[in-house]
Amino acid sequence: MGHPVNEISGSVVGLALPDESAALHVTGSASFVDDVPVPHGTLHVALALSPVARGAVKPTNLDAVTTLPGVVAVLTAADVPGTNDCGTIVHDEPILADDEVAYLGQPVVAVVAIDREAATRAAASVTFDCDEQPPMLDPREAHAAGSYVLPPMLLTRPTEGEVAAALAAAPLRLTGDFAVGGQEHFYLETQAALAVPGDDGSMRVLSSTQHPTEVQKLVAGCLGVAHHLVRVECRRMGGGFGGKESQAAQFACLAALAARVTGRPAKIRLGREQDNLITGKRHGFSYDYDVGYDETGRILGYDVTLVSHAGHSADLSGPVLTRAICHVDNAYWLPNVTIRGFAARTNTQSNTAFRGFGGPQGVLVTEYVLDTVARTLGVDPLDVRLRNLYGERPPDGADDQGVETPYGEVVEDNLLRPMIEELIVSSDYRARRAEVTRFNSASPVVKRGLALTPVKFGISFNVSHFNQAGALVHVYTDGSVLVNHSATEMGQGVNTKVLQVVAQELGVPLRTVRSTATDTDKVANTSATAASTGSDMNGKAAQAAARVVRDRLAVVAADLLDGDVSDVVFEGGEVAVRGRSMAFADLASAAYYRRVQLWSDGFYATPGLRWDPATMRGRPFHYYCYGAAVSEAVVDSLTGESRVLRADLLYDAGRSLNPAVDVGQVEGAYVQGVGWLTTEELRWDEQSGRLLTLAPTTYKIPAVHDVPADLRTRLYQRPASADTIHASKAVGEPPLLLAFSAFLAIRDAIHAVVPDGPPPPLRAPATAEEVLRAIEAGRAREGPRA
């Protein structure tokens, strides 16, 4: 895999540089919460979990558990001095369940002991008296019963009545249902926190969290103290993927509670199976659709219902469902569209953010519907996609496709058509389509399939006020630079990118700039690192901070080098004015002696955003990222096994800040998406509601052999037209949707097994069992063979 490099000469930004922690990662010396040396006397917390999914649960032997070897304290909801709440937006989630439980695995008792083994053993010995109620486990049933965690949502254009009329008038029409499962985050570092009490009622918390400020607020609430008494730090996570956006807080609260009650430092680190049993996952969705179209496959009317599997509490289900609804259009102009959204309440884990944040669940149904329309018409799905793409501005007369999304934001800077056309050529799509057909006609059992899918993904938090970030830049008198910003590092490379921005601004080598832990004592009131906005917003904030310091230094340089401030150039660790120059370090030192402030803050708030949740209209996104992918899959029609043979990925990261990091993000997201849509299947016991897929033995995440042997990734490298940091675009989440091409390539291969009837429905994930089921369904539709 040759990775392209886009060098901007004399620049740090745009270089394919290794991650700032790459050497630490590959040598195993990068430090995570569990690696930090703990203070003397640190205690360990282990949890006793509800054995039932719904009902009243009372621990019966806590006095005995307290006397077990090594046990220092046994905590229940009654021990919380402040508010027993770790809910993110809606405050409907207890830190420890108080009497009533809402899912099997909910934490009820926290055992604090001198070591992790003693705590774990004691927690496992807690017994419960349960008054078990029949749990609600199926989101479809919850929907039928009107049981939701949030009020239903509706987005329609122009009106429900006109959409119904457009459907009735359409020459062709299809109705059906579809579903996609959830997804376990499977971050390598499980949820973890270390809390160290201070002498003044303060609490210092090291947390593996995407959202230190929210952890600070919820820990302060739990302890019943002011926010300024709680300090939360996160140097890095061993992966978050959305699973530590809201759900790290509960464990930080538990560590802080244990520390407060005992007066000693306390640590919690979940085991893998407990983490899987307690924490929420990606929302599975089920759908009903009704689509009207013409003989060319052009969509004339579309009515779709989305039921998300929220689980037992609201968590982030509201914004996730909003993002899903705002991504139903994906790349396509939908003149008449009604989208209904429901967040079903069940007695399971509370589902949460996961890479794409509902966007993938919104797009997938529409890609499936377009695929079904094309197969029903008997044309290549690619041609139906091209027929429905958003128009380009200004419209060229021949093209009457609109440019406005159902929620009213205009699709500016639409790169869909040029990117797809480039990918058709670079992937050799048309010739390979013919080759797949040839292969299939000669191969009765093993069939191949091919699919090209586009992506359009909106960038910004759809909760507008979250779109803010802050940074601090410190220049020391030896010229070394320290950067602190509001984003957290989870492997996505935000620290590396922000360091590149600061190095560029100050004209110093990257190695002289260092990043420190995200820390609520340094930048206050931060947002989660999420919505793929980390580098965008923190890059801008750090650039602003660095510019303030540089401007102050320029005044000193102009004076020392006898020139104009406007002529001062910072480059290569030197500061120059009209041919005279000095080292950056010497300038920093000279500025100090002149009592010039060598550090600054910087702040960024994304401009131009509006959103009205009541009408679901506005401009929720600063800009869109685009992408397209071609996947070729092979299916064994006897076993249902499938494999992606080749994938061609094209992604619009604007003018990439760091092509090495961005290619890694694109490839990682694609493989994570393929896992979600092919092998990762969550199963709950239908009676008890116990999650059965708790370990990699029963929950199949992609391994290195599941990466397509032929993987061709390219960045599009056009500067963003919106005002973004160095004309780059976000990359964290959108490329996950490139994996839809793999799912639909599998469907293409299945259709080649049973070509003679309507396309058999295929649900996601397309596990071997599901592929076989689809083939059987297709055979039944074809009727008895002659």
Q: Which of 353, 384, 585, 745 binds ligand LUZ (CB under 6 A)?
A: 353
Q: Residue with the closest Cβ to ligand MOS?
A: 242
- Contact status, residue 616 vs residue 325, Cβ threshold 8 Å: yes
Does position 316 interact with ligand MOS (CB under 6 A)? The reply is no
Subset of 238-277 contacting ligand MOS (CB under 6 A)? 242, 245
**Other Cβ atoms closer than 10 A to 646:** 17
The stretch among 128-136, 351-359, 689-697, 716-724 that binds ligand MOS (CB under 6 A) is 351-359
Closer to ligand LUZ by CB, 92 or 132: give it. 92
Axis-axis angle for helices 317-325, 359-377 (nearest 10): 30
Q: Three-state SS for 727?
A: helix
Rounded-to-integer distance, Cα 741 and Cα 367, Å: 9
Q: Which of 96, 137, 324, 353 binds ligand MOS (CB under 6 A)?
A: 353
Rounded-to-integer distance, Cα 256 and Cα 266, Å: 7
Which residue bears the tokens 């064994």? 636
Q: Which of 105, 319, 406, 470 binds ligand LUZ (CB under 6 A)?
A: 319
Closer to ligand MTE by CB, 305 or 351: give it. 351
Provide the minimum distance between the beta carbon of 369 and ligand MOS in the complex, in angstroms, as a whole number. Answer: 24
Provide the minimum distance between the beta carbon of 360 and ligand MOS in the complex, in angstroms, as a whole number. Answer: 10
Provide the minimum distance between the beta carbon of 602 and ligand LUZ in the complex, in angstroms, as a whole number. Answer: 22
Does position 357 interact with ligand MOS (CB under 6 A)? The reply is yes
Tokens of 278: 């307690």
Q: Which of 215, 530, 663, 762 binds ligand LUZ (CB under 6 A)?
A: 530
Residue 245 among the catalytic residues:
no
Provide the minimum distance between the beta carbon of 313 and ligand LUZ in the complex, in angstroms, as a whole number. Answer: 15
Report in angstroms the alpha-carbon separations of 222 from 16, 78, 226, 741. Answer: 44, 12, 10, 45
Residue 323's binding partner out of ligand LUZ, ligand MTE, ligand MOS, none, with CB under 5 to 8 Å set by partner kind? ligand LUZ
Closer to ligand LUZ by CB, 390 or 461: give it. 461
Q: Which of 211, 355, 552, 747 binds ligand MOS (CB under 6 A)?
A: 355
Does position 734 interact with ligand MOS (CB under 6 A)? The reply is no
Q: Three-state SS for 625?
A: strand
Rounded-to-integer distance, Cα 99 and Cα 127, Å: 14
What's at 182, amino acid-wise?
Answer: G
Tokens of 722: 């919106």
The DSSP symbol for 718 reads P
Provide the minimum distance between the beta carbon of 367 and ligand MOS in the complex, in angstroms, as a whole number. Answer: 20
For residue 158, whether the previous peptide bond is cis, meaning omega lies within 30 degrees of 0, is yes
Sheet with strand 107-113: strands edge to edge: 71-75, 107-113, 43-49, 266-269, 192-197, 203-207, 230-234, 518-519
Rounded-to-integer distance, Cα 719 and Cα 724, Å: 9
N residues, the chain:
786
Sign of CA dihedral 344, 345, 347, 352: positive
Provide the minimum distance between the beta carbon of 352 and ligand LUZ in the complex, in angstroms, as a whole number. Answer: 10
The stretch among 305-313, 354-362, 603-611, 704-712 that binds ligand MOS (CB under 6 A) is 354-362
Tokens of 539: 């890059």
Does position 327 interact with ligand MOS (CB under 6 A)? The reply is no
Subset of 512-541 contacting ligand MOS (CB under 6 A)? 530-531
Provide the minimum distance between the beta carbon of 338 and ligand LUZ in the complex, in angstroms, as a whole number. Answer: 22
Axis-axis angle for helices 659-678, 740-753 (nearest 10): 40
The stretch among 106-114, 262-270, 480-488, 527-535 that binds ligand LUZ (CB under 6 A) is 527-535
Tokens of 195: 């809390």
Provide the minimum distance between the beta carbon of 490 and ligand LUZ in the complex, in angstroms, as a whole number. Answer: 13
Residue 484's binding partner out of ligand MTE, ligand LUZ, ligand MOS, none, with CB under 5 to 8 Å set by partner kind? none
Residue 462's binding partner out of ligand LUZ, ligand MTE, ligand MOS, none, with CB under 5 to 8 Å set by partner kind? ligand LUZ
Does position 632 interact with ligand MOS (CB under 6 A)? The reply is no
Does position 186 interact with ligand MOS (CB under 6 A)? The reply is no
Report in angstroms the alpha-carbon separations of 321 from 316, 331, 344, 351. Answer: 9, 19, 11, 11
- Contact status, residue 624 vs residue 411, Cβ threshold 8 Å: yes
Subset of 666-705 contacting ligand MOS (CB under 6 A)? none
Subset of 208-227 contacting ligand MOS (CB under 6 A)? 210
Tokens of 332: 């396509």
Provide the minimum distance between the beta carbon of 542 and ligand MTE in the complex, in angstroms, as a whole number. Answer: 13
Residue 466's binding partner out of ligand LUZ, ligand MTE, ligand MOS, none, with CB under 5 to 8 Å set by partner kind? ligand LUZ
Does position 328 interact with ligand LUZ (CB under 6 A)? The reply is no
Closer to ligand MOS by CB, 245 or 667: give it. 245
Which residue bears the tokens 């290569």? 572
Q: Which phi and psi angles does 441 have, rounded to 5°?
A: -70, -20
Mention every residue, 6+ apart, whose C-beta is less than 8 A from residue 386: 417, 420
Cα 651-743-353 angle, rounded to 5 deg: 65
Tokens of 498: 């922000």
Q: Which phi and psi angles does 454 have, rounded to 5°?
A: -95, 165
Exposed/middle/buried for residue 712 (C-beta within 10 Å: 0-12, 13-18, 19+): middle
Closer to ligand MTE by CB, 429 or 457: give it. 457
Mask for 443-482, x = binds ligand LUZ (CB under 6 A): ------------------xxx--x----------------
Provide the minimum distance between the beta carbon of 606 and ligand LUZ in the complex, in angstroms, as a whole number. Answer: 12
Report in angstroms the alpha-carbon separations of 48 from 193, 277, 524. Answer: 17, 12, 34
Report the run of H or E that residue 553 belongs to, with start and end.
helix 534-560
Mask for 736-775, x = binds ligand LUZ (CB under 6 A): ----------------------------------------
- Contact status, residue 626 vs residue 419, Cβ threshold 8 Å: yes
Does position 357 interact with ligand LUZ (CB under 6 A)? The reply is yes
Residue 513's binding partner out of ligand MOS, ligand MTE, ligand LUZ, none, with CB under 5 to 8 Å set by partner kind? none
- Spacing of C-alpha 612 from chain mean position: 23
Closer to ligand MTE by CB, 492 or 504: give it. 492
Q: Which phi and psi angles does 147 have, rounded to 5°?
A: -100, 110
Residue 17's binding partner out of ligand MTE, ligand LUZ, ligand MOS, none, with CB under 5 to 8 Å set by partner kind? none
Tokens of 336: 């008449």
Provide the minimum distance between the beta carbon of 385 and ligand LUZ in the complex, in angstroms, as a whole number. Answer: 25
Provide the minimum distance between the beta carbon of 655 and ligand LUZ in the complex, in angstroms, as a whole number. Answer: 24
Does position 489 interact with ligand MOS (CB under 6 A)? The reply is no
Does position 453 interact with ligand MOS (CB under 6 A)? The reply is no
Report in angstroms the alpha-carbon separations of 540 from 458, 514, 531, 658, 765. Answer: 19, 17, 16, 15, 39
Q: Which residues bind ligand MTE (CB under 6 A)?
A: 239-242, 355, 487, 490-492, 494, 529-535, 665, 668, 730, 732-733
Which residue bears the tokens 């370990």? 695
Does position 289 interact with ligand LUZ (CB under 6 A)? The reply is no
Provide the minimum distance between the beta carbon of 172 and ligand MOS in the complex, in angstroms, as a whole number. Answer: 37
Does position 153 interact with ligand LUZ (CB under 6 A)? The reply is no
Give the active site residue among 273, 733, 769, 776. 733
Q: Which phi and psi angles does 432 have, rounded to 5°?
A: -70, -30
The DSSP symbol for 763 reads P
646: β partners: 632, 710
The count of residues interacting with ligand MOS (CB under 6 A) is 10
Binding site for ligand MOS (CB under 6 A): 210, 242, 245, 353-355, 357, 530-531, 733
List residues with catalytic annotation. 733
The contact set with ligand LUZ (CB under 6 A) reads: 245, 316, 319, 323, 353, 357, 461-463, 466, 528, 530-531
